[in-house]
Amino acid sequence: MKKRTRVTHLPEVEVPSDNRPLVAPVFQSVKFTFDDVAETERYFEGRRAGFYYSRVSNPTLRQLETALADLQGRDACLLTGSGMAAISASLLALVKQGDHVVYFAEMYQPTRSLIRRVLGRFGVTSTLLSIDDLAGLERVLGERPTRVIVFESPTNPVLKIADIPRITELARRHGALTLLDNTLAGPHGHGGLDLDLYVHSLTKYVSGHGDVMGGAVIARAELIQQLRSDLTLLGPTLDPHAAFLMLRGLRTYFVRREVQCRGAQRIAEFLRTHAAVERVSYPGLPDDPGHALAARQMEDFGSIIRFDIVGGSPAGTKFAEALELFAIAASLGSTESLVVPPAMQQPRDLTSTQRTWSAITPGTVRLSIGVEDPEDLVADLEQALASSQT
């Protein structure tokens, strides 16, 4: 062969079966091949295992899917390029024109917009409630057939705790599916509850370092199989190298999570007694409205804290800008601590009544606690709170 041909058809390196790599390699390949047409046809007919095209499946993605499904206590998983891709692809696969969806004011704003605006354009109707209004949920489910109930727990950003057993019981009784955005609880959380689908933004705790984006849908095998054919057509595929980085992040997931939760507990206890703080929401506090429910449902209390600062949005801006160890940034779950000031999270898409349900006030601040020493973070918060009140 000429050199031009040889650099295109590179020699293969065979790894002996008793000489495995400790870390699985990245299968950074779009295409896979079989030795002959007959074996390729057997693959397409489902009569043999293998891979053909990475938009459909890839060995690196399969390893991450298997790990996440096992962690969540379910059979199967689908990976996507972002958390919103996981939510949107799931709903587009599950609902059709004329279906009805229930969702809540206390949830991620882009999810609300997806349900109301995008699904609405295709003839899907929806009802917005408060996650606290279980009587309203029961009434709506009794009045009209509902395909999916979409919710979060803890909710983002105010950390309300949904009564998941009650919601799933109502859903079962009325023939609705339940889809939980489980991002804040993590892929180890809520696995023992009777939920149909979990979605995660892997960008947060699974990645853990703020340098790679991805999403996951986790469910029993028959539901994932139902979704897989549609997701393959929609094409929100996670890149194999991103999946490799997620697998690397997953190795330290519990180490990071435990440190972050301990830090959040310490900081929440500090904030609840500070004169510049009107209210603290953190389910690990014994007097938090969701504490008892969270203690029954969750594996831990998480690393997110919400508080309302005295002086409203102007004070919140001064506070955020005075911080030295917290970055003003979106997302959460990173090794570094983050702050979202009030001006960046007002629910402008909600009516005045719905804003009351959301519990976001003009002074609401969200903190994502990283892996720094909690006492350093407390000292930084103390000086920034003092600056906010001058």
In a domain, 4, yes or no: no
Q: State the catalytic residue, choosing from 43, 52, 55, 228.
A: 55
Percent of the chain at pLDDT exceeding 90: 90
Q: How much is the pLDDT for 253?
A: 96
Mean per-residue pLDDT, 71-98 = 96
pLDDT for res 206: 97
The candidate with the shortest Cα–Cα distance to 337, out of 299, 296, 390, 384, is 384
Which DSSP state fits 24?
P
126 forms bridges with which residues in the sheet? Answer: 101
Q: Which domain does 98 fall in, by range?
A: 62-239
What's the total number of domains in the chain?
A: 2
Look at residues 138, 142, 115, 119 and name the one whose alpha carbon lies nearest to residue 128: 115
- Report d(CA 43, CA 52) in Å as an integer: 8
Report the chain's mean pLDDT, rounded to a whole number.
Answer: 95
User: 299-321 pLDDT, tens per residue?
Assistant: 999 999 999 999 999 999 999 99
Domain final residue pick, 239, 268, 290: 239
If asked whether residues 268 and 232 sit together in one domain, one would say no
Q: Which of 99, 181, 288, 300 is labelled catalytic?
A: 181
Q: What's the pLDDT tens digit per position in 316-334?
A: 999 999 999 999 999 999 9
* Other Cβ atoms closer than 10 A to 169: 13
Query: In the annotation, is 55 catalytic?
Result: yes
How far is Cα 272 from Cα 282, in angstroms, rounded to an integer? 10
CA 244/CA 246 separation, integer angstroms: 5
Same domain membership, residue 373 and residue 335: yes
Question: Rounded CA gap, 72 and 74, in Å?
Answer: 6
Identify the band that residue 348 occupies on the pLDDT scale cut at 50, 70 and 90: confident
Per-residue pLDDT tens digits for 153-204: 999 999 999 999 999 999 999 999 999 999 999 999 999 999 999 999 999 9
What confidence category does residue 2 fall into, taking pLDDT thresholds of 50, 70 and 90? confident
Residues 324, 350, single domain; the answer is yes
Query: Is residue 234 located within the same domain as residue 302?
Result: no
How many CA atoms within 13 Å lie on the side-chain side of 182? 29
**Is residue 2 annotated as part of the catalytic site, yes or no?**
no
Same domain, 276 and 222: no
- pLDDT exceeds cutoff 80 at 379: yes
Residue 244 lies in a domain: no
User: What's the confidence (pLDDT) of residue 5?
Assistant: 85
Residues 265 and 156 in one domain: no
- 217, two tokens: 């849908």
Q: What is the CATH number of the domain that holds 122?
A: 3.40.640.10
* Mean pLDDT of the 290-300 span: 97
pLDDT band for position 361 (50/70/90)? Answer: very high
pLDDT of residue 290: 97
pLDDT-derived band of residue 270, with 50, 70 and 90 as boundaries?
very high
CATH of the domain at 284: 3.90.1150.10
**Residue 343 per-residue DSSP state:** G
The answer as to whether 6 is a domain residue is no
**What pLDDT is stored for residue 8 in this prediction?**
82
Note whether 232 and 285 are same-domain residues: no
- Residue 155 carries which side chain, given as an amino acid letter? T
Question: Quick one: which of 304, 321, 325, 313 has its CA closest to 367?
Answer: 304
pLDDT at 11 over 90: no
Indicate the pLDDT class of residue 7, thresholds 50, 70 and 90: confident
Instruction: Give the other-Cβ count within 10 Å of 124's Cβ.
Output: 22
Is residue 52 part of the annotated active site? The answer reads: no
Catalytic residue from among 74, 99, 103, 108? 108
- Specify whether 196 is located in the same domain as 129: yes
Region 250-266: mean pLDDT is 97
Q: Which of the pair, 21 or 114, is modelled with greater confidence?
A: 114
Selecting among 74, 147, 204, 257, the annotated active-site residue is 204
**Residue recorded with tokens 């014994």:** 286
Considering the domain architecture, whether residues 225 and 281 belong to the same structural domain is answered as no
Record the tokens describing residue 223, joined without a space.
Answer: 């539901």
Q: Is residue 106 part of a domain?
A: yes
Rounded Cα gap, residues 101 and 229, in angstroms: 22
Is-catalytic flag, 43? no
pLDDT of 12 reads 85
Whether residue 154 contacts residue 304, with contact meaning beta carbons closer than 8 Å, is answered with yes
**Phi/psi at 244 (nearest 5 deg)?**
-60, -45
- Using the 3D structure, point to which of 194, 214, 239 is the last residue of a domain: 239
Residue 269 lies in a domain: yes
Element (H, E) at 279: strand 277-281
Minimum mean pLDDT range among 10-19, 284-293, 376-385: 10-19
Q: Are residues 274 and 225 in the same domain?
A: no
Specify the DSSP element, H or E, that contains 65.
helix 59-72
Q: Are residues 235 and 327 in the same domain?
A: no
Q: Please state, in angstroms and as integers, the Cα–Cα distance from residue 215 to each residue in 77, 81, 89, following that order.
A: 10, 6, 10
Radius of gyration over every alpha carbon of the chain, rounded to an integer in angstroms:
23
Query: Residue 32: inside a domain, yes or no?
Result: no
Shared-domain flag, residues 82 and 231:
yes
| Domain's final residue, options 239, 266, 298 | 239
